[in-house]
Amino acid sequence: MHKNYHDLITINPNVRSGKPTIRGLRYTVYDILSYLAAGMTIPEILDDFPDLTTDDIRACLSFAANREAQVLVVRV
């Protein structure tokens, strides 16, 4: 299992308008998280997109978890 999502999630201003993508491919982290949120299973995603791996999908989840951990709540 890939432990570091930084090796798989890339941000390139010339690919998908700079959104975080998987290995520079045109799949964004948002795309994969949306599929999971809609109820697709990891095997279903892998069947639909054979150039992705389980590690890629886990990297998306790790990326999202890391972003969530960095959210700052400001009370007014």
User: What distance in Å separates the CA atoms of residue 41 and residue 17, rounded to the nearest whole number?
Assistant: 27
pLDDT digits (tens, 9 = 90+) for 10-44: 999 999 999 999 998 999 999 999 999 999 999 99
Give me Rg for the CA atoms of the chain. Answer: 13
Give the global pTM: 0.82
User: Model confidence at 71, in pLDDT bands (50, 70, 90)?
Assistant: low
Predicted confidence (pLDDT) at residue 46 exceeds the cutoff of 90:
yes
